[in-house]
Structure 1
Amino acid sequence: MVVLFGPQHAPAEPGLSRTNIRFTVPSMPKVTEEHRAARREQIISAARKCVLRKGFHQASMADVIAESGLSAGAVYRYFKGKEQILESIADQSIGRVEDMLLELLADGAAPHPADVIETMLEWIVEHADDEEGDFTVIAVQAWGEAVRGGKVLDIVMPKIRQIRELWIEIARRWQAAGHLPADADPQHVGQALMGLFPGFIVQRLLVGDVTPRSYANGLRALLAAR
């Protein structure tokens, strides 16, 4: 940017010639939305690693700043504090399950309930361990944090409701395809299905001897029982 003073605008300072004076002021570089998104994800990724190592409560902003490799000012430019970062982590972790269910609903198919459960569980196991750690561990911690109330509950509860509504819709499709009795209540079925996944995740993390196939086979046996 150039600032120009003509003779009539030149500052009246002693010894200053009343000729044109030209100042060049460097322009500030523009920060793109892509850059902002990348920085946010860098901070969230760092916080996720800290949570996996220390848990929601023990992980501190100092830990996140050190892990991110950014300055404190840069981190606080995107997040007001630790709680806001944890909200984003919880939102992302639970949102991954929601995305998978939306994919299952996208083509309008209505496969057997146990097949859907097995597909979902295989997806969870496949995507649980990535370069940033097991997202199911963070999901469990997010549930625990939500029980304490506060803003994390405000993030988690709507997600849980949305996921349950997707299961209810899947139950409706199963019923229409003849996989469920005509007098079954899809809402009740959706509530029951919603409870299957935390049970699998907890057993996988704590006991370690459950697999998508064994879990789905157990469900097949239950569905066949009369």
Structure 2
Amino acid sequence: MATRISKTPQSPTQKADKKRIEVLKAAGKCFRKTGFHQTSMQQICAETGLGPGAVYRYFTGKEAIIEAMVEEERRQARAMLLQMRDAASIQQALSTATRLFAERYRAGSDASLMTEVYAEGMRSKRVGTVLRKIEAEWIMGLSNLLRIAQARGQIDASLDAAQTALFLTGMWDGMVIRQHFHAHDDPQALPIFFETMIARLLAKDNKVAGKPLTTPPLENSLFAEELKKRAESEDLRQLSLI
């Protein structure tokens, strides 16, 4: 007689987490199709196959859903920083970041969802607040990596680390969007070119018209206050790479 193997029952918390993930996936699918503002909670409910009461049990509305998506972005950003920290050199770390960004958003739908989330962060104070915290945490972590590389003589010491981190992040964001419109090209060509340009940008002997590549102080940055707050928090100390 065959022995019946029973599955380990899921706890209420595990079931709730699974349902939340299902709702997030369904919402992401809807946002990709019609955009954040054109998507209704009714459409999200229909996509999940759940009733409104079940969906609202996990999220109070669309802003709460997009906040959860932003928190997932935060988790992935932290994971990327840790992966970069473990790289053998700053060049390898930045190469890793370039390839991770390219691979993650290579599908056009993922790039469109990213732009949708950030656009909502510009419209919604609530979503924007969460995005600014993530941005500050990412820039601080990347800046720390760059400062370590400068101390080791691996890159141009005259560069402002935080401004360089902002510039590199802007390049990666641009790559994510551009590769969507050049999907017919070699998928490796753009990331490889970016790696080359980043290496040239950060090179120790880089000069423009005989002057070092310097940048304005971070105090002029919109993120300066948030960066200061994050630097003082216990949560960010755990990410310190120095």
Alpha-carbon distance between aligned partners in 2 of 1:58 and 1:126, rounded to the nearest angstrom: 28
Partner of 1:214: 193
Q: In the alignment, which of 124, 148, 154 is matched to residue 129 of structure 2?
A: 154
Matched, 1:39 2:19: yes
Change (3 A) 1:188 1:125: closer
Contact 1:90 1:155 in 2 (8 A): yes
Matched, 1:67 2:44: no
Per-residue CA deviation, residues 63-110 of structure 1 (Å, 9 max, x unaligned), is 1101111121111111111221122123323542332122222x3x45
Change (3 A) 1:171 1:223: closer
Letter in 2 for 1:44: L
CA RMSD of aligned residues (A): 2.4
Partner of 1:17: none
Alpha-carbon distance between aligned partners in 1 of 2:173 and 2:154, rounded to the nearest angstrom: 24
Change (3 A) 1:182 1:89: closer
Deviation, 1:199, is 1.8
Change (3 A) 1:223 1:81: closer
Partner of 1:120: 97
Structure with higher Rg: it is 1
Deviation, 1:151, is 1.2
Matched, 1:164 2:139: yes
Deviation, 1:144, is 1.1
Change (3 A) 1:91 1:179: same
Alpha-carbon distance between aligned partners in 2 of 1:191 and 1:110, rounded to the nearest angstrom: 22
Match of 1:181, SS? coil
Change (3 A) 1:81 1:88: same
Deviation, 1:33, is 0.7
* Stretches (4+) displaced over 4 A: 207-210
- Larger RCO of the pair (alpha carbons < 8 Å, separation 6+): 2
Partner of 2:240: none
Partner of 2:57: 77
| Aligned sequence identity (%) | 28
Partner of 2:174: 199
Q: Unaligned regions of 5+ residues in structure 1, if any?
A: 1-29
Contact 1:93 1:138 in 2 (8 A): no
Alpha-carbon distance between aligned partners in 1 of 2:40 and 2:105, rounded to the nearest angstrom: 24
What is the count of residue pairs matched by the alignment?
Answer: 192
Alpha-carbon distance between aligned partners in 1 of 2:132 and 2:70, rounded to the nearest angstrom: 11
Matched, 1:136 2:111: yes
Alpha-carbon distance between aligned partners in 1 of 2:134 and 2:74, rounded to the nearest angstrom: 7
Deviation, 1:154, is 1.6
Change (3 A) 1:195 1:126: closer
TM-score by length of 1: 0.75
Alpha-carbon distance between aligned partners in 2 of 1:76 and 1:192, rounded to the nearest angstrom: 39
Q: In the alignment, which of 156, 159, 182 is matched to residue 181 of structure 1?
A: 156
